[in-house]
Amino acid sequence: MRIQIDGRDVEFEPGETILEVARREGLEIPTLCHDPRLDPAGACRTCLVEVDGWRRMPPSCATKAQDGMVVRTRTERVGRHQRALLALYLADHVQGADACETGAPCELHAMAAKVGAPTDWTPLEPVRVGRDDPNPYIEFRADRCIACARCTRYCAEVEAVTAISLVGRGSKTTIGTVDASSLLDTSCELCGGCIDTCPTGAMTEKRPLLQLAPPERQLEKVRTTCNYCGVGCQLDLNVDPATKKIVKITSPPVGTPPNDGNLCVKGRFAYEFVEHPDRLTTPLVRGEDGALREASWDEALDRAARGLMGVKERYGADALGFVSSSRCTMEENYLVQKLSRAAFGTNNCHQCAAT
């Protein structure tokens, strides 16, 4: 089956939407409410396209491709619609990208600039009301919310906890919880997935705001592997170039294995141990007086080897046991069991994630 998009004939599989086919072919259609991990909602209306023979412009994210369909994404009608729609969004939003992007980049401002949406429409009076929440990680800024529902859908469809939902009516529709409860009193797991999927920074991290950290666009991203369990989730350290300290953790783009852009509460928020004064950065050995002192790696490894060999000589190899951690890599855990079996001659080895 084939479909024509902007004059290009492409094949598609049954069930694919116009947006999926276009993006697979490298054709860009703007979206605000869409996330590949979520079921299409067609809420923001920025992805409307023209289809030959159709009177109305359908949302490409929620419209299935049909054999022989002719789609146009860059017509004058589509462009006029996008400019007017985004101008309306901007009128009900924090004015100016610099003022808005005190946290995550704002997809709304970036998209409006790209399509040339007017920025001089009279701003609307803010009607959405935010609230303080005692949870330590997640901040909701109502003045940036466009009610796209990406965060609530992520919470329901990916995390399956439904801790947040759309509340209110009309222009006062916003994000809330049952009985206006704190996230700490709901089913929320504080994973921060709502922060990751939010296109405007309405959902954001509390800690960088309290520390007056630079906006995300000014931070250096360093890809690394989370060390809290054996899954190996990929994450990005956002480092302040001036202080060389981690400001926050963000997840890589959707589709990055193995976590597909998802993180748990530990992976996203538990990074302060990196700068903790009690963190060991130098090997310690116990002196003759019983006190620990700093040592070189060679001295520490030699001390450990002599101690283990001494136990083996006095009591036999099975008096030894080796325990490794799921926070290590698969290769490191392999080496621990190899050390146990080949070097010391015992099968007494265990790893907490092993089956």
CA 304, chain centre distance (Å): 40
Q: Is residue 198 part of a domain?
A: no
Q: What is the domain range of residue 327?
A: 316-355
Q: What is the rounded distance in angstroms from the CA atom of residue 118 to the CA atom of residue 107?
A: 16
- Is 327 within a domain? yes
* Total domain count, the chain: 2
CB-CB contact of 307 with 299 (8 Å): no
- Can you give the length of the chain in residues? 355
Domain end among 74, 103, 121: 74
Q: Write the CATH number for 22.
A: 3.10.20.740
Structural domain includes residue 14: yes
What's the confidence (pLDDT) of residue 354?
Answer: 52
Where among 18, 45, 74 does a domain terminate? 74
Does 59 fall in a domain?
yes
Question: pTM of the full predicted structure?
Answer: 0.87
Q: Indicate the residue among 57, 74, 91 that finishes a domain.
A: 74
Say what the pLDDT of residue 126 is.
Answer: 84
- Residue 261 has a CB neighbour count (10 Å cut-off) of 21
Does any domain span residue 266? Answer: no
Q: Is residue 286 part of a domain?
A: no
DSSP-assigned letters across all residues of 129-197: -------SSEEE-GGG-----HHHHHHHHTS-----EEES-GGG-EEE-GGG--GGGSS-----HHHHH
Which candidate, 60, 58, 78, places its Cα nearest to that of 24? 60
Which residue blocks in the chain are alpha helix, DSSP H? 18-24, 76-91, 97-100, 107-115, 150-157, 193-197, 206-210, 265-269, 297-315, 330-338
User: How would you classify the pairing of strands 284-286 and 292-294?
Assistant: antiparallel
Report the amino acid identity of residue 254: V
Could you read off the pLDDT tens digit of each residue along the chain, which spans 355 residues?
Answer: 999 999 999 999 999 999 999 999 999 999 999 999 999 999 999 999 999 999 999 999 999 999 999 999 999 999 999 999 999 999 999 999 999 998 889 999 999 999 999 999 999 988 887 778 999 999 999 999 999 999 999 999 999 999 999 998 888 899 999 888 999 999 999 999 999 999 999 999 999 999 889 999 899 999 999 988 878 899 999 999 999 999 999 999 999 999 999 999 999 999 999 989 999 999 999 988 999 999 999 999 999 999 999 999 999 999 999 999 877 888 888 999 999 999 999 999 998 765 4
Q: Could you tell me if residue 283 is inside a domain?
A: no
Q: Say which residue the tokens 């976590």 belong to.
A: 259
Residue 168 belongs to a domain: no
d(CA 60, CA 28): 11
Eight-class DSSP state of 275: G
